[in-house]
A and B are shown apart, each in its own frame.
Chain A
Amino acid sequence: MTARIIMKLRVESIRASTPEVAHIGLVHPLRPELPEWTPGAHVDFRLPDGKIRQYSLCGDPSDRSRYEVAIKREDQGRGGSKWVHENLALGTIAHVSAPRNNFPLAPGATRHVFVAGGIGITPFVAMARALAAEDRDFTLHLCARSAEDAPLIGLLREICGEQLHCWFSSEGRRFDPRVLGGPSEGTHIYSCGPERLVGSLQAALDLAGWPSEQIHIERFAATLDENFKPEPFEALIESTGQTLHVPADRSLLDVLREHGFTLSSSCEIGVCGSCECGYRDGVVLHRDSSLPLSKRQDRMMPCVSRARVHLTLAL
């Protein structure tokens, strides 16, 4: 995973998209152009207490002068969105990384179907904009309580036109994954939103026989596994022969850091993909929700994933 530059960006616009969602525009105080990005990309916000939060870019990728994010205030969350809502105002400075894309449009797809829950709409705004500009085939399902609670709805209507399907529970319309039908070649399904939406969608698609390569899910939080009981293990560093002991109450990333291995890291809950590293042998207990199945044989996320007894790291 590549390192990304961190910039001090200035809030150039901020407005309430819904009562709970702030739509924020950011510019570089000194540079006319920001690093490039593609639809589905996110940036990291670095908070003063060292916390890092990811937010999808929802602006126009062809406008290099600014980034846009839409951030919902989650008072029950981990504190990132609350900080943003309480501290960012016109002209304030936010510490923001260059973008990374873990959720890109599938290159070979001929049809794209998006299912968004609430603030999970953000990555799809840029995706829809790019597809609409090229007159490509897509459908966007937006699930929210009501039109007033649906972030960026005006912009979405403008971009998507007839391709936007709204499911507002206040109107008694609830999204049913069965409307997506059975597997269809060339069609890729993307979902982002709360676990209850993406979890039930995933289950329904599995049941309908959709191949996993055609399903792309971005989660807000790491998969819950309350029953997981961490055990200590040993990690052998391939290049130096050093063996590190990882106690049950500490992460592999943490132990590596203590021994001077500076892997980049960000969310530390297994969703962002920053700390990805290679391993040679050992039984790895993958606990992240970022690495695709195809890479799990020799790659792992040391922030949350562990090993049974022993593993060798390609470091």
Chain B
Amino acid sequence: MSELPPPRMVEAFEHAAGSIAVNVPGGATGWKGVLLNIHVAPAASYEMEELQEARCVAGRGIEGDRYFHGTGTYSPKPDTREVTLIEQEALDALNRNDPPLQGGKIQLSPGDHRRNLTVRGVPLNHLVGRRFRVGEVILRGGRLNFPCKYLEELLGMPVYLPLYNRSGLNCGIERGGLIRPGDAIEMMD
């Protein structure tokens, strides 16, 4: 196997989306959320594994994750993918087939959606161009996450359309540190 290139990350506020959003005011404030689950995958296509504690490294990612190591499916393409988040509320909506875009409800558990952090009470779609903290770690929202056909294939479930516009957030890490399920999530600015 050839050596993999080191991961090439785009700093969140330099991303095509984040760089615009950072200069546009607005979005929800005053909310307080919680980190429910942490998942990483050791390499592309591997099942996600749950962690009770994870180290976030600024400019790089979550230790042990495929995008930290540069072994992810999309690693060759420079982007903001140090940490990805998804709302538990989006998974709840899929599980009640809401809106009814597909045959029936889809049960997508935190270990299956392939985003790193499952969070509750965090309006992720408002956080592009914003700074927020997860426990002691500070994240920067770089762009909205986008569902991919690859995920559908891996799961064998029709999740592409149902996840559209609620697929989560891709972030950069401004300040690294340890995170654990139960950590509070809050706006910084």
Most chain A CB within 10 A, of B1, B47, B155, is at: B47
Complex: how many Å from CA A254 to CA B2? 9
| Residues of B21-54 whose CB lies within 8 A of A | 43-47
B45, A5: Cβ atoms closer than 8 Å: yes
Complex: how many Å from CA A6 to CA B73? 13
Most chain A CB within 10 A, of B45, B74, B150, is at: B45
Q: Which residues of B contact A8 (CB under 8 A)?
A: 46-47
Other A-B pairs beyond A4-B154, A5-B45, A5-B47, 18, CB < 8 Å: A2-B153, A3-B45, A3-B154, A4-B153, A5-B154, A6-B45, A6-B47, A7-B47, A35-B156, A95-B46, A97-B45, A98-B156, A257-B2, A257-B76, A262-B44, A262-B73, A262-B74, A262-B76
Query: Shortest Cβ distance from A261 into chain B, in angstroms?
Result: 8
Most chain A CB within 10 A, of B73, B74, B154, is at: B154
Query: Shortest Cβ distance from A278 into chain B, in angstroms?
Result: 15
Task: Please report the total number of A residues contacting B with Cβ < 8 Å.
Answer: 18
> Which residue of chain A has its CB nearest to the CB of B155?
A5
> Which residue of chain B has its CB nearest to the CB of A1?
B153
B1, A50: Cβ atoms closer than 8 Å: yes
B153, A3: Cβ atoms closer than 8 Å: yes
B156, A3: Cβ atoms closer than 8 Å: no
A260, B47: Cβ atoms closer than 8 Å: no
Query: Shortest Cβ distance from B74 into chain A, in angstroms?
Result: 7
Q: Which residues of B contact A262 (CB under 8 A)?
A: 44, 73-74, 76
Query: Shortest Cβ distance from B137 into chain A, in angstroms?
Result: 27
Instruction: Decide yes or no whether B55 CB sits under 8 A from chain A.
Output: no
Instruction: Decide yes or no whether A134 CB sits under 8 A from chain B.
Output: no
Complex: how many Å from CA A49 to CA B1? 8
Binding site for A on B (CB under 8 A): 1-2, 43-47, 73-74, 76-77, 150, 153-156
The secondary structure that dominates the B interface is loop
> Which residue of chain A has its CB nearest to the CB of B150?
A3
A6, B76: Cβ atoms closer than 8 Å: no
Count the A-B residue pairs with Cβ separation under 8 angstroms: how many?
38
- Sample (23) of A-B pairs whose CB atoms are under 8 Å apart: A2-B153, A3-B150, A4-B45, A5-B45, A5-B46, A5-B47, A5-B154, A5-B155, A6-B45, A6-B47, A7-B46, A7-B47, A8-B47, A35-B156, A50-B1, A95-B46, A97-B45, A257-B76, A260-B76, A260-B77, A262-B44, A262-B76, A264-B45
- By Cβ-Cβ distance, the 7 closest A-B pairs, closest first, are A50-B1, A260-B76, A2-B153, A3-B153, A6-B46, A6-B45, A5-B154
Q: Which residues of A contact B46 (CB under 8 A)?
A: 5-8, 95
Q: Which residues of B contact A5 (CB under 8 A)?
A: 45-47, 154-155
Binding site for B on A (CB under 8 A): 2-8, 35, 49-50, 95, 97-98, 254, 257, 260, 262, 264
Complex: how many Å from CA A151 to CA B45? 32
Complex: how many Å from CA A254 to CA B44? 17
Q: Which residues of B contact A35 (CB under 8 A)?
A: 156
Query: Shortest Cβ distance from A51 into chain B, in angstroms?
Result: 8
Complex: how many Å from CA A20 to CA B2? 32
Complex: how many Å from CA A97 to CA B154? 10
> Which residue of chain B has its CB nearest to the CB of A50?
B1
Q: Which residues of B contact A2 (CB under 8 A)?
A: 153
Query: Shortest Cβ distance from B162 into chain A, in angstroms?
Result: 19
Q: Which residues of A contact B77 (CB under 8 A)?
A: 260
Q: Which residues of A contact B150 (CB under 8 A)?
A: 3
Q: Which residues of B contact A98 (CB under 8 A)?
A: 156
Q: Which residues of B contact A260 (CB under 8 A)?
A: 76-77
> Which residue of chain A has its CB nearest to the CB of B112?
A5
Q: Which residues of A contact B76 (CB under 8 A)?
A: 257, 260, 262
Complex: how many Å from CA A6 to CA B74? 16
